[in-house]
C-alpha cells in the first residue's frame, strides 16, 4: 500500500507519496536525475529539493566528458545549465541528441537566460523543457515529474 510522508526543505513542505514497485523499492526513489551546473550553490539547492522529493540525484559541476558520464550513469532525466565554462549547455545538448545512446533521454535546460527567445532556441536545440532561474521548489519538482514517474 502506498504511504505518504511529509518533508520540509527551506521552509517549504512537500508531501511525497511512496508506492512500492515490484522490487520493493519506492517508485519515487527510482528516478535518477543528473544535474549539471557550474554554480555549486545551484547544485546543492537542486540536489536538496530533488532528494527531499524522493529522487536519486547525481551532480556534476561542468560538462566535461558529459556524454560518457550520461552513458555510464544512465539517468532518467538531465537538468542542464546553459552558461558554463568550456562547453555551454547548447553544445552539450546537441551532442547528446545526436548520439544514439542518449538521444531519447529527456533534457531540461535550467538557466537564468529567461527571455522567450532563449526558451524557443533551447527547444529548437533539442531540449524537452526549459526552467528559468530563479525557480521555486514546486516548479522544479513539477518539471521533473513531467518526465519521470
Mean pLDDT score, 80-91 = 94
Task: Please give the pLDDT value at position 117.
Answer: 94
In a domain, 14, yes or no: no
The set of cell numbers assigned to 70 is 550520461
Q: Which residue has the higher pLDDT, 6 or 123?
A: 123
Q: Of 5-9, 129-133, 143-147, which gets the smallest average pLDDT?
A: 5-9
Task: Please give the pLDDT value at position 114.
Answer: 87
Choose among 31, 82, 83, 81: nearest CA to 58: 31
Mean pLDDT of the chain: 85
Structural domain of residue 131, as residue ranges? Answer: 26-147
Tally the domains of the chain: 1
Mean pLDDT score, 44-69 = 95
pTM score, whole prediction: 0.81
- β-sheet bridge partners, residue 130: 109
In a domain, 49, yes or no: yes
Task: Please give the pLDDT value at position 29.
Answer: 53
Q: Say yes or no to pLDDT of 139 above 90.
A: yes
Count Cα atoms within 13 angstroms, Cβ side, for 27.
14
CATH number for the domain that contains residue 140: 3.40.50.2300
Q: Say yes or no to pLDDT of 27 above 70.
A: no
- β-sheet bridge partners, residue 108: 79, 129
In a domain, 93, yes or no: yes
Amino acid at each position: 500500500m502506498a504511504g505518504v510522508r511529509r518533508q520540509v526543505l527551506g521552509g517549504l513542505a512537500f508531501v511525497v507519496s511512496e508506492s512500492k514497485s515490484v522490487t520493493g523499492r519506492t517508485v519515487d526513489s527510482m528516478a535518477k536525475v543528473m544535474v549539471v551546473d557550474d554554480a555549486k550553490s545551484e547544485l546543492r539547492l537542486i540536489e536538496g529539493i530533488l532528494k527531499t522529493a524522493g529522487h536519486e540525484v547525481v551532480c556534476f559541476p561542468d560538462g566535461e566528458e558529459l556524454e560518457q558520464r550520461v552513458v555510464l550513469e544512465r539517468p532518467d532525466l538531465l537538468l542542464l545549465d546553459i552558461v558554463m565554462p568550456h562547453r555551454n549547455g547548447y553544445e552539450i545538448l546537441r551532442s547528446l541528441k545526436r548520439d544514439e545512446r542518449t538521444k531519447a533521454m529527456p533534457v531540461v535546460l535550467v538557466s537564468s537566460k529567461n527571455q522567450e527567445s532563449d526558451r524557443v532556441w533551447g527547444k529548437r536545440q533539442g531540449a524537452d523543457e526549459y526552467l528559468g532561474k530563479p525557480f521555486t521548489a514546486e516548479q522544479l519538482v513539477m518539471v521533473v515529474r513531467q518526465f519521470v514517474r
